[in-house]
């Protein structure tokens, strides 16, 4: 029997995660939007916690504690919006990251992961949704940044709500992931910090990568 509350929306072309989310949001009739990767599993009570949180007047976005398949807190599932210079500092070890994703209490943050993100539809439309120039990565950081810039709404990390994220299932090719990450990072920094800072960042990033043959992606 067909569930009348579920509508299937098919996009004929893969234009990226943000574009697909925008299409779904356009066809959604609810007041609250929940964007979730297909490899996420919601624990009992998590969605109810997030819905109660997003109903608060001053909250624009909320996200759960994302867990890996091994039960660890997923790195970079929320955090501080770092400038190009702060990113380089972290990469070369001058300013080490404090692992904000280990947070255990509900608190404001600069962004939460788009792997599982809850927001108000009215706000989503006001901010013009996800930037479709970002094919993959940084669409969540960019969306949250625009909310903080243009409204008085806050972004909340809600660790009481737990969602398991398998990770890497939609794109197992690591080289492709690095390519999309780099493209998104360059676009994001140019958009929000300007051409000069963006170009300087790319030069410094290239230098640090020459010095370090092995390193994890920056964020």
Q: What is the pLDDT of residues 68-77, one digit of tens each?
A: 999 999 998 9
Q: Which long-range contacts (CB under 8 A, 24 or more apart) does 195-198 make?
A: 197/83, 197/84, 197/85, 198/84
Q: Is the pLDDT score of 98 beyond 90?
A: no
pLDDT of residue 214: 56
Provide mean pLDDT across the span 145-166. Answer: 98
CA distance 118 to 207: 38
Write down the mean pLDDT value for the chain. 91
Answer yes or no: pTM beyond 0.85.
yes
In order of start, what are the domains of the chain with their CATH numbers? 17-211 (3.90.550.60)
The pair of three-digit structure tokens given for residue 147, joined into one six-digit string: 């909310």
CA separation for the pair 101, 103 (Å, rounded): 5
Calculate mean pLDDT across residues 116-142.
98
Confidence band (pLDDT; 50, 70, 90) for 172? Answer: confident
Which range has the worst mean pLDDT, 24-38, 92-106, 134-148, 190-204? 92-106
pLDDT at 96 (0 to 100): 67
Question: Tens of pLDDT along 18-42?
Answer: 999 999 999 999 999 999 999 999 9
**Res. 213 pLDDT band, cuts 50 70 90:** low
């Amino acid at each position: 029997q067909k569930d009348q509350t579920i509508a299937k929306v098919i996009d004929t072309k893969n234009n990226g995660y943000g574009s697909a989310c925008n299409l779904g949001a356009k066809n959604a009739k609810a007041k609250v939007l929940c964007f979730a990767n297909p490899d996420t599993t919601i624990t009992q009570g998590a969605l109810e916690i997030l819905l109660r949180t997003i109903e608060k007047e001053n909250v624009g976005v909320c996200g759960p504690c994302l867990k890996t398949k091994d039960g660890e807190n997923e790195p970079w599932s929320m955090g501080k919006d770092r400038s190009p210079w702060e990113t380089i500092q972290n990469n070369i070890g001058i300013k080490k990251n404090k692992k904000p994703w280990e947070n255990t209490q509900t608190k404001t943050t600069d962004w939460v992961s788009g792997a599982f993100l809850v927001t108000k539809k009215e706000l989503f439309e006001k901010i013009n949704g996800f930037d479709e120039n970002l094919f993959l990565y940084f669409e969540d950081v960019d969306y949250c940044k625009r909310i903080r810039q243009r409204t008085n709404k806050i972004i909340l990390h809600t660790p009481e709500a737990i969602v398991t994220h398998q990770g890497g299932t939609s794109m197992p090719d690591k080289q492709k992931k690095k390519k999309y990450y780099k493209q998104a990072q360059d676009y994001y920094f140019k958009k929000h910090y300007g051409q000069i800072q963006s170009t300087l960042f790319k030069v410094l990033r290239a230098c640090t990568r020459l010095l370090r043959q092995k390193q994890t992606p920056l964020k």
